[in-house]
């Protein structure tokens, strides 16, 4: 069989918690072809822009290839044996000297279940400390706490099909269109078929609102008031299920007392800022629609009242008996590909593996026997922020960070950088060579990444899918479970970590879920109730069966038998078997709005980037949709601040300040602004949103308040600006501290946008000089120092290696009002072209050939830009998104840009009357 004929291998997407199935095959030229898996129940063949671009992110560029140890100020490559010995001996020494709680692991929902299981087993079972926490603390911990309080276990009762069966879908605190795009597509298609109603609750007007029948732009943090009001309304209007409440729940009276204390419409109006008619429309629809699904995510979880927000939603579903029934359930959608798997194997500091608890002596005894250890941790460890604060105070002296980038993603990130810099011993396992966190590592360990590693992940609907190895791993990269097990063996825990492969680990974990539940006989659609998380049916699977395992939803009582829904019969995992109502009260976010910091900053995600961009940032397609760190603000605020589209603004909070491009739109309400948190010190000089965020967190879950920070905004004028393309990634390192820059991946190289307080002529000289100084002499170059734009190009072997344009005003490439955008997109494609090329000529004449006037990419799949679309709308009279698709192909790939195409259509219509 030739390479070209290699068969399609089934696996799971690397990114979000939808957990889409993919099929991939390696081509003889080393590339990876990826398509949606039509047989996977999460997506039935659909993929979003990020999933479709997976093949573009698996190259060797930027990969971490060998273990390294820091000596003084530089790193030395070492063999695995030395790296592992270093970690094991340093951990052992610190434990011996300062006790077991002086070490910690900070892990991630991007580890596979097998990696996660082994990390947890080592820390809690053998080191004997529970100081292992995960970035899921920042992500899902309020939902975990809310589920446990209401249902007795951390369980999502529903499944994706419910989104297609529902007559009403309430999307709250979720930008599903951009963050769970395939679920959004499934809902959009279902809506077209069955006309279900959709309500979006979000202070921002997001692309998700595109399918909404009603958008409730609530004040940040006011969800509890809204849902308490709903509970009161349901009760007053006898829209509750009395039988269900009686037989299946406890605690309604207290919850209602809270709700009524504050639940009249006027109070709800005052706190949420909504109009009475909007509130009533929502309440009436909820009351009268039996098949209602409420989907919620970070707008709910990432709050100082996150857990109570979750319970205020669950209360309304319990009151109406709508839990785990077809088309009728609350639905917490998870963020990371394996956020769920981590929760299952005890990745959070306050839980044990397999949903067992520290305070249950039966559980702890069973685990001791199962793992054959007498050193099991006896009480919960430190939650993420407390963990880093304990590093700061010196209580923790060694931390091992795996598959997460806390120097970017934790609140008050500058402080986290200082904490890591001062920590006596930092180990980081990652698959890329440079991240903000890696810069603080004493030991750097190269992990296999997506496409190389093999194991399982659990998605938002409890579905366990295999991630399979698709490509050989580069350099010395090893699976995370292997790295952890080798360290464990070297620390002296050999017998417990003698795994041959990932299947060994999975079997052990599946057996663990059955502990104390052996008496449950297999039955088809009713789950065991003490700990519904049971993988009985997978506890003895062969390695061959493991490798061929089809996606299945836990509990799995028999091999290949999925459970789609839980709790439908009204029996819960609490000791009484009844679900609990929880009394909740509205509390405003912890920030202090003042004259000094008058705006509310909301942070979150954009469509085509994943978190700190270590992988999506490698794809030029994904980097062109929104290419710079930006601040979205309302027209009114922009006017008052005298800020124009594309201006730089300084955003400051009590914690620090950053520079962002102003993006003026109708998304945010007056007084509120939004910034994505993806950019970091590796790709911009001053644009890391978490610099601004305080450490305020939910007292129950420990989840930080990422969605509400008091900030100030002021224009940050500059006198010159440059767009620079280069084959080289490190041009930014040649700049002085005086210049502000962002660096973006583009075709064959990088695009830097640089602003400066120097005059255009000075900036031009500065750039030209550092490029020439750094280059071998005798290189061909062209230098045009003209007004208003000066240009420069450096050739290598007759082909463009670096080129730039300097001016006092280059319009923003992220301009959404981009119909006026200047024609710089040809710059993206200049690298590697000879002098004779018409595009290179365009650099010097300043006139772009019309075929290169595409504009900012809107459709990442088909690479269609804003100008091409606008032209089609105007000249080919496109009246619908479908028409645009026919004319330009935009929107005909994954569909993630459909909302934006609709917005463009509307905008042109408004403009042209
Ligand atoms: N493209 C992309 N997709 C992703 C990710 C990514 O990095 N990029 N990350 C994945 C991960 S790990 C996660 S956790 C998920 C997150 O998925 P989401 O939770 O959908 O994403 P966010 O953008 O963080 O925030 C959701 C919305 O909450 C709103 N919000 C803010 N404050 C409030 C409030 O007080 N009340 C309500 N009701 N809403 C509020 C925000 O305006 C925002 O639109 O996305 C996953 N999918
Ligand atoms: N302001 C603000 N901050 C936020 C949020 C927000 O909404 N606003 N959201 C929070 C949420 S919900 C989340 S989930 C976090 C996410 O934040 P992080 O977890 O910090 O973000 P990632 O970029 O996903 O980091 C993953 C790292 O692991 C590496 N990696 C990838 N695969 C592997 C692997 O298999 N093995 C190893 N060892 N390494 C690997 C990647 O290269 C990358 O460096 O951010 C949180 N921070
Ligand atoms: S929705 Fe997109 S990012 Fe999420 S799993 Fe599916 S393809 Fe991947
Ligand atoms: Mo997340």
Summarised one tens digit per residue, pLDDT across range 187-239 is: 999 999 989 999 999 999 999 999 999 999 999 999 999 999 999 999 999 99
Interatomic CA distance for residues 89 and 304, integer angstroms:
39
Interatomic CA distance for residues 841 and 837, integer angstroms:
6
Q: Among residues 637, 665, 666, which one has the least CA distance to residue 651?
A: 637
Interatomic CA distance for residues 354 and 342, integer angstroms:
10
Question: Averaged over 693-717, what is the pLDDT?
Answer: 97
Statement: residue 3 has pLDDT above 70: no
Judgement on whether residues 53 and 77 belong to the same structural domain of the protein: no
Indicate if ligand 1 lies below 6 Å from the C-beta of 586: no
- Nearest atom, ligand 2, residue 410 CA: 47
Per-residue pLDDT tens digits for 229-266: 999 999 999 999 999 999 999 999 999 999 999 879 99
Q: Among residues 138, 158, 141, which one has the least CA distance to residue 149?
A: 141
- Binning pLDDT at 50, 70 and 90, where does residue 771 land? confident
Pairing of strands 552-553, 463-467: antiparallel
H-helix or E-strand spanning residue 79: none
Q: At what angle are helices 306-319 and 252-262 packed, to 10 degrees?
A: 110
**Does residue 241 fall inside a structural domain?**
yes
Relative to the alpha carbon of 134, which ligand is closest?
A: 2
Distance 178 CA to ligand 1 centre (A): 9
**Does residue 426 fall inside a structural domain?**
yes
Distance 406 CA to ligand 2 centre (A): 7
Roughly how many angstroms between the first and final C-alpha of the chain, as a whole number? 61
Interatomic CA distance for residues 773 and 735, integer angstroms:
12
The answer for residues whose C-beta is within 8 angstroms of residue 552's C-beta and 6 or more apart is 463, 464, 560, 561, 562
Pairing of strands 425-430, 657-664: unpaired
Interatomic CA distance for residues 518 and 509, integer angstroms:
15
Interatomic CA distance for residues 342 and 105, integer angstroms:
13
Judgement on whether residues 49 and 114 belong to the same structural domain of the protein: no
Distance 109 CA to ligand 4 centre (A): 8
Q: Are 696 and 591 a contacting pair, CB within 8 Å?
A: yes
**For residue 823, what pLDDT is reported?**
65
Q: What is the largest CA-CA distance in the chain?
A: 87
Strand partners, 697: 704
Helices and strands in the chain, H and E counts: 29, 34
Residue given tokens 């008058």 in the structure block: 598
Interatomic CA distance for residues 93 and 772, integer angstroms:
50
**For residue 747, what pLDDT is reported?**
80
Statement: residue 404 has pLDDT above 50: yes
Indicate if ligand 1 lies below 6 Å from the C-beta of 296: no
Statement: residue 524 has pLDDT above 80: no
Interatomic CA distance for residues 868 and 855, integer angstroms:
7
Per-residue pLDDT tens digits for 481-505: 999 999 999 999 999 999 999 999 9
Pairing of strands 197-201, 214-216: parallel
**For residue 811, what pLDDT is reported?**
65
Question: Averaged over 450-463, what is the pLDDT?
Answer: 97
Q: Among residues 825, 830, 874, which one has the least CA distance to residue 854?
A: 825
Statement: residue 35 has pLDDT above 50: yes
Distance 179 CA to ligand 1 centre (A): 7
Report how many domains make up the chain.
6
Per-residue pLDDT tens digits for 142-201: 999 999 999 999 999 999 999 999 999 999 999 999 999 999 999 999 999 989 999 999
Helices (H), 855-897: 866-875, 881-888
Pairing of strands 599-604, 672-676: parallel
Statement: residue 913 has pLDDT above 90: no
Interatomic CA distance for residues 473 and 484, integer angstroms:
18
What is the CA angle 424-426-431, rounded to 5?
165
Percent of the chain residues past pLDDT 90, beyond the cut: 79
Interatomic CA distance for residues 363 and 691, integer angstroms:
41
Q: Are 463 and 41 a contacting pair, CB within 8 Å?
A: yes
Distance 602 CA to ligand 2 centre (A): 18
Distance 62 CA to ligand 3 centre (A): 23
Statement: residue 883 has pLDDT above 80: yes
**Does residue 50 fall inside a structural domain?**
yes
> Which of 35, 48, 605, 610 for mutating ligand 3's site (highest number of atoms within 8 Å of CB)?
48
Domain CATH number, residue 85? 3.40.50.740
Question: Averaged over 26-39, what is the pLDDT?
Answer: 91
DSSP string over 726-791: ES-SGGGGGS-TT-EEEEEEETTEEEEEEEESS-HHHHHHHHHHHHHHHSPTT--EEEE--SS-EE
- Nearest atom, ligand 1, residue 676 CA: 23
Interatomic CA distance for residues 349 and 137, integer angstroms:
9
- Nearest atom, ligand 3, residue 180 CA: 1
H-helix or E-strand spanning residue 42: none
Interatomic CA distance for residues 308 and 296, integer angstroms:
13
Per-residue pLDDT tens digits for 730-766: 888 888 888 899 999 888 899 999 999 999 999 999 9
Interatomic CA distance for residues 909 and 911, integer angstroms:
5
Relative to the alpha carbon of 691, which ligand is closest?
A: 2
H-helix or E-strand spanning residue 202: none
Judgement on whether residues 794 and 902 belong to the same structural domain of the protein: no
Question: Averaged over 284-295, what is the pLDDT?
Answer: 98
Q: At what angle are helices 276-288 and 265-272 packed, to 10 degrees?
A: 120
**Does residue 588 fall inside a structural domain?**
no
Beginning with the edge strand found earlier in the chain, give each strand of the sheet holding 463-467 in spatial order: 455-458, 463-467, 552-553
Statement: residue 654 has pLDDT above 60: yes
Indicate if ligand 1 lies below 6 Å from the C-beta of 616: no
- Nearest atom, ligand 3, residue 183 CA: 1
- Nearest atom, ligand 1, residue 589 CA: 35
Give the least confident one: 630-634, 744-748, 826-830. 826-830
The answer for residues whose C-beta is within 8 angstroms of residue 847's C-beta and 6 or more apart is none
Interatomic CA distance for residues 508 and 535, integer angstroms:
10
**For residue 93, what pLDDT is reported?**
98
Domain CATH number, residue 859? 1.10.10.1100
Judgement on whether residues 97 and 168 belong to the same structural domain of the protein: no
Domain CATH number, residue 312? 3.40.228.10
**For residue 178, what pLDDT is reported?**
95
Question: Averaged over 33-53, what is the pLDDT?
Answer: 96
**For residue 274, what pLDDT is reported?**
98
Indicate if ligand 2 lies below 6 Å from the C-beta of 416: no
Judgement on whether residues 120 and 221 belong to the same structural domain of the protein: no
What is the residue with the minimal CA distance to atom 6 of ligand 2? 604
Interatomic CA distance for residues 416 and 694, integer angstroms:
12
Judgement on whether residues 233 and 314 belong to the same structural domain of the protein: yes
**For residue 775, what pLDDT is reported?**
59
> What's the Cα-to-Cα distance from 812 to each of 437, 643, 829, 907, rounded to whole Å?
30, 13, 18, 19
Judgement on whether residues 96 and 158 belong to the same structural domain of the protein: no
Q: Among residues 291, 321, 331, 320, which one has the least CA distance to residue 165?
A: 291
Judgement on whether residues 152 and 278 belong to the same structural domain of the protein: yes
Residue given tokens 């696996």 in the structure block: 11
Distance 150 CA to ligand 1 centre (A): 23
Question: Averaged over 812-816, what is the pLDDT?
Answer: 45
Q: Are 877 and 871 a contacting pair, CB within 8 Å?
A: no
H-helix or E-strand spanning residue 316: helix 306-319
What is the CA angle 275-276-282, rounded to 5?
95
Residue 463 DSSP class: E
In three-state secondary structure terms, 577 is coil
Q: Are 299 and 224 a contacting pair, CB within 8 Å?
A: no
Statement: residue 286 has pLDDT above 70: yes
What phi, psi does 564 have (nearest 5°)? -75, -40
Judgement on whether residues 648 and 700 belong to the same structural domain of the protein: yes
Statement: residue 667 has pLDDT above 70: yes
- Binning pLDDT at 50, 70 and 90, where does residue 538 land? very high
With a Cβ cut-off of 6 Å, ligand 3 is lined by 13, 15-16, 18-20, 43, 47-48, 50-51, 180-182
- Nearest atom, ligand 2, residue 14 CA: 32
Mean model confidence pLDDT for the chain: 92
**Does residue 569 fall inside a structural domain?**
no
Strand partners, 672: 600
Per-residue pLDDT tens digits for 575-615: 899 999 999 999 999 999 999 999 999 999 999 999 999 99
**Does residue 545 fall inside a structural domain?**
no
> Which of 138, 139, 144, 179 for mutating ligand 1's site (highest number of atoms within 8 Å of CB)?
179
Q: Is the peptide bond prior to 177 cis by the omega test (within 30 degrees of 0)?
A: no
What is the CA angle 395-400-401, rounded to 5?
115
> What's the Cα-to-Cα distance from 487 to each of 16, 76, 748, rounded to whole Å?
30, 19, 39
Statement: residue 820 has pLDDT above 80: no
Per-residue pLDDT tens digits for 540-566: 999 999 999 999 999 998 888 889 999
**Does residue 402 fall inside a structural domain?**
yes
Distance 136 CA to ligand 4 centre (A): 6
Q: Among residues 322, 106, 306, 337, which one has the least CA distance to residue 223?
A: 306
The boundaries of the domain holding residue 781 are 718-849
Residue 265 DSSP class: H
Question: Averaged over 462-486, what is the pLDDT?
Answer: 97
Residue given tokens 């024609």 in the structure block: 823
> Which of 17, 20, 38 for mutating ligand 3's site (highest number of atoms within 8 Å of CB)?
20
User: Of how many residues is the chain composed?
Assistant: 913
**For residue 778, what pLDDT is reported?**
61
Statement: residue 901 has pLDDT above 50: yes
Statement: residue 812 has pLDDT above 60: no
Question: Averaged over 386-409, what is the pLDDT?
Answer: 98
- Nearest atom, ligand 3, residue 42 CA: 6
Distance 301 CA to ligand 1 centre (A): 9
**For residue 774, what pLDDT is reported?**
61
Judgement on whether residues 632 and 693 belong to the same structural domain of the protein: yes
Statement: residue 327 has pLDDT above 50: yes
> What's the Cα-to-Cα distance from 655 to each of 135, 662, 835, rounded to whole Å?
21, 21, 49
Distance 431 CA to ligand 2 centre (A): 12
Domain CATH number, residue 709? 2.40.40.20
Q: Among residues 832, 879, 833, 871, which one has the least CA distance to residue 851?
A: 871
What is the residue with the minimal CA distance to atom 17 of ligand 2? 409
Statement: residue 99 has pLDDT above 90: yes
Distance 296 CA to ligand 1 centre (A): 9
> Which of 18, 22, 35, 54 for mutating ligand 3's site (highest number of atoms within 8 Å of CB)?
18
Q: Tell which of 460, 477, 499 closes a domain.
A: 499
**Does residue 201 fall inside a structural domain?**
yes
Indicate if ligand 1 lies below 6 Å from the C-beta of 299: yes
Percent of the chain residues past pLDDT 70, beyond the cut: 95
Q: Are 582 and 255 a contacting pair, CB within 8 Å?
A: yes
Question: Averaged over 113-125, what is the pLDDT?
Answer: 98
> What's the Cα-to-Cα distance from 224 to each of 144, 219, 813, rounded to whole Å?
17, 11, 39
Statement: residue 273 has pLDDT above 70: yes
Per-residue pLDDT tens digits for 415-450: 999 999 999 999 999 999 999 999 999 999 999 999
Domain CATH number, residue 16? 3.30.200.210
**For residue 733, what pLDDT is reported?**
87
**For residue 520, what pLDDT is reported?**
54
Judgement on whether residues 16 and 78 belong to the same structural domain of the protein: no
Judgement on whether residues 674 and 751 belong to the same structural domain of the protein: no
Q: Among residues 893, 887, 602, which one has the least CA distance to residue 904?
A: 887
**For residue 523, what pLDDT is reported?**
41
> Which of 51, 187, 457, 460 for mutating ligand 3's site (highest number of atoms within 8 Å of CB)?
51
What is the residue with the minimal CA distance to atom 35 of ligand 2? 449
Distance 319 CA to ligand 2 centre (A): 37
Distance 144 CA to ligand 2 centre (A): 19
Helices (H), 36-99: 49-52, 80-98
Q: Tell which of 455, 483, 499 closes a domain.
A: 499
Q: Tell which of 36, 57, 78 closes a domain.
A: 57
């Amino acid at each position: 069989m030739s390479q070209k004929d290699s068969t399609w291998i089934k696996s799971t997407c690397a990114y979000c918690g939808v957990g889409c199935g993919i099929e991939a095959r390696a081509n003889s030229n080393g590339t990876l072809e990826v398509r949606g898996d039509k047989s996977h129940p999460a997506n039935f063949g659909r993929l979003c822009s990020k999933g479709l671009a997976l093949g573009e992110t698996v190259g060797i560029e930027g990969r971490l290839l060998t273990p390294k140890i820091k000596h003084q100020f530089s790193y030395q490559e070492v063999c695995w044996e030395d790296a592992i010995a270093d970690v094991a001996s340093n951990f052992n020494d610190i434990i011996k000297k300062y006790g077991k709680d002086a070490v910690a692991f900070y892990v991630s929902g991007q580890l596979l279940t097998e990696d996660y299981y082994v990390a947890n087993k080592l820390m809690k079972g053998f080191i004997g400390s529970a100081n292992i926490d995960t970035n899921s603390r920042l992500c899902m911990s309020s939902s975990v706490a809310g589920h446990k309080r209401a249902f007795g276990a951390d369980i999502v009762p529903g499944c994706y099909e419910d989104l297609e069966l529902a007559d009403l879908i309430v999307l709250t605190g979720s930008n599903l269109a951009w963050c769970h795009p395939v679920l959004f597509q499934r809902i959009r298609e279902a809506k077209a078929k069955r006309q279900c109603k959709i309500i979006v609750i979000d202070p921002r007007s997001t692309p998700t609102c595109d399918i909404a029948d009603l958008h409730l732009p609530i004040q940040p943090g006011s969800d509890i008031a809204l849902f308490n009001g709903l509970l009161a309304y349901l009760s007053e209007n006898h829209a509750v299920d009395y039988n269900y409440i009686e037989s299946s729940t406890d605690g309604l009276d207290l919850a209602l007392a809270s709700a009524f204390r504050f639940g009249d419409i006027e109070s709800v109006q005052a706190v949420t800022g909504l109009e009475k008619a909007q509130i009533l429309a929502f309440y009436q629809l909820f009351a009268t629609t039996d098949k209602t699904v409420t989907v919620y995510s970070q707008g709910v979880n990432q709050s100082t009242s996150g857990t109570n927000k979750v319970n205020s939603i669950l209360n309304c579903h319990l009151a109406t008996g709508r839990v785990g029934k077809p088309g009728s359930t609350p639905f917490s959608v998870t963020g990371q590909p394996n956020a769920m798997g981590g929760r299952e194997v005890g990745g959070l500091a306050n839980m044990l593996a397999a949903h067992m608890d520290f305070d249950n002596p039966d559980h702890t005894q069973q685990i001791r026997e199962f793992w054959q250890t007498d050193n099991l941790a006896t009480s919960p460890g430190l939650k993420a922020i407390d963990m880093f604060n304990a590093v700061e105070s010196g209580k923790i002296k060694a931390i091992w960070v795996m598959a997460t980038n806390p120097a970017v993603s934790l609140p008050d990130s500058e402080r986290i950088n200082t904490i890591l810099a001062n920590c006596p011993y930092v180990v980081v396992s990652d698959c890329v060579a440079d991240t903000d966190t890696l810069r603080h590592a004493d030991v750097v360990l190269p992990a296999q990444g997506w496409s190389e590693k093999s194991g399982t992940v659990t998605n938002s609907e409890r579905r366990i899918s295999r991630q399979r190895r698709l490509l050989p791993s580069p350099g010395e990269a090893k699976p995370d479970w292997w790295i952890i097990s080798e360290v464990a063996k070297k620390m002296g825990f050999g017998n417990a970590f003698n795994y041959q492969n990932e299947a060994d680990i999975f079997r052990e974990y599946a057996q663990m879920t059955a502990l104390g539940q052996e008496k449950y006989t297999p039955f088809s659609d009713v789950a065991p109730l003490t700990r519904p998380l049971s993988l009985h049916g997978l506890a003895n699977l062969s390695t061959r069966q493991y490798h061929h395992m089809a996606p299945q939803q836990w509990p799995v009582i028999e091999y290949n038998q999925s459970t789609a829904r839980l709790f439908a019969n009204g029996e819960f995992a609490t000791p009484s078997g009844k679900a609990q109502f929880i009394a909740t009260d509205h509390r405003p976010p912890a920030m202090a709005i003042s004259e000094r910091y008058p705006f509310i900053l909301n942070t979150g995600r954009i469509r085509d980037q994943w978190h700190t961009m270590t992988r999506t940032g490698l794809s030029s397609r994904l980097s062109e949709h929104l290419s710079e760190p930006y601040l979205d603000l309302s027209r009114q605020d922009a006017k008052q601040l005298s800020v124009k589209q594309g201006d730089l603004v300084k955003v400051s909070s009590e914690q620090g300040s950053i520079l962002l491009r102003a993006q003026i739109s109708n998304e945010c309400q007056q007084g509120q602004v939004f910034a994505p948190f993806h950019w970091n010190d590796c790709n911009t000089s001053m644009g890391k949103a978490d610099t601004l965020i305080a450490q305020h967190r939910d007292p129950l879950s420990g989840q930080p308040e990422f969605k509400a920070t008091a900030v100030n905004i002021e224009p940050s004028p500059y006198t010159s600006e440059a767009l620079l393309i280069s084959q080289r990634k490190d041009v930014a390192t040649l700049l002085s501290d005086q210049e502000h820059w962002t660096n973006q991946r583009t075709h064959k190289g990088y695009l830097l946008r640089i602003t400066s307080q120097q005059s255009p002529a000075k900036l031009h000289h500065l750039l030209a000089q550092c490029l020439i100084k750094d280059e071998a002499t005798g290189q061909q170059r062209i230098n045009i120092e003209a007004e208003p734009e000066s240009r420069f190009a450096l050739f290598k072997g007759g082909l463009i290696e670096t080129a730039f344009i300097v001016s006092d005003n280059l319009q923003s490439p992220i301009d959404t009002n981009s119909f006026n955008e200047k024609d710089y997109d040809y710059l993206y494609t200049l690298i590697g072209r000879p002098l004779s090329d018409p595009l290179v000529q365009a650099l010097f004449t300043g006139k772009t050939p019309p075929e290169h006037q595409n504009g900012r990419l809107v459709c990442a799949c088909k690479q269609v830009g804003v100008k091409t679309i606008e032209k089609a709308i105007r000249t080919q009279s496109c009246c619908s998104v479908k028409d645009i698709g026919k004319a330009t192909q935009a929107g005909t790939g994954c569909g993630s840009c459909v909302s934006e195409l609709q917005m463009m259509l509307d905008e042109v219509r408004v403009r042209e009357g």
